[in-house]
Amino acid sequence: MNKYMVITVIGADRPGLVELLARTLVAHNANWLESRMANLAGRFAGMVEADVPEENFDRLVAALERLQADGLNVMVDSGLSGQDAGGFREVQLELTGQDRVGIVQEISSALARQGVSIEKLHTETESASWSGETLFRAWADLRVPDDLDMEALQQGLEVLADELMVDIDLKSQPTA
């Protein structure tokens, strides 16, 4: 039986870090499932979901912790498998507006009050072409309870968007 794990890594960015992590996983017969990686403020930051045969789990954790000698700070957490996805629908959120402190906190707070989970979040800032001011953009995959009225969610977010002076767009994924 396999165990799931979530591996978080951060270190000075340099060539070969992903290969080092992948080689460590392969050496313990672990399967790389999903990942998110980026260069943030000159640092390599990543998260990997993997599964590994149960008998290799502890040895893999120890090997990952030894990567500290290579300049990688590693944290390993046992992942959960077989989560029930029923009772929810997928919705995408796009947000654009002038950057300011608190945008992510206010949006995430409004979503949490409605029982909406943020499954994926990508944010970035850029210089606005027309004014040179800093523009904030966010894209999120949301997990919305089936019993939540989408129109009420949209209206609540529109009120918040007006307060924050940002544009928010929600798009439901078609059901299969």
Specify the CATH number for the domain of residue 74.
Answer: 3.30.70.260
DSSP 98: E
> Looking at residues 98-114, what average pLDDT do you find?
94
71 and 94 co-located in one domain: no
Strand (E) or helix (H) holding 10? strand 2-12
The set of residues, in sequence order, having a beta carbon less than 8 Å from that of 12 and lying 6+ positions away, is 42, 43, 44, 71
The amino acid that residue 47 corresponds to is M
pTM of the model: 0.77
Position 45 in a domain: yes
Q: Which of 44, 78, 112 is the last residue of a domain?
A: 78
112 and 52 co-located in one domain: no
113 and 163 co-located in one domain: yes
The predicted-structure confidence for 51-83, as pLDDT tens digits, reads as follows: 999 999 999 999 999 999 999 999 999 877 655
Position 83 in a domain: no
The predicted-structure confidence for 5-48, as pLDDT tens digits, reads as follows: 999 999 999 999 999 999 999 999 999 999 999 999 999 999 99
Q: Which of 3, 38, 2, 40 is nearest to 18 (CA)?
A: 38
Tokens 């007006």 locate to 162
47 and 110 co-located in one domain: no
Q: Which of 50, 78, 106 is the last residue of a domain?
A: 78
Q: Which two tokens stand for residue 13?
A: 């960015």
Domain hosting 122: range is 88-172
> How far from 9 is each of 15, 25, 73, 138, CA to CA, in Å?
15, 13, 6, 23
Total structural domains in the chain?
Answer: 2
Which pLDDT belongs to residue 136? Answer: 95
Q: Which of 103, 100, 94 is nearest to 160 (CA)?
A: 103
Confidence of residue 174 (pLDDT cuts 50, 70, 90): low
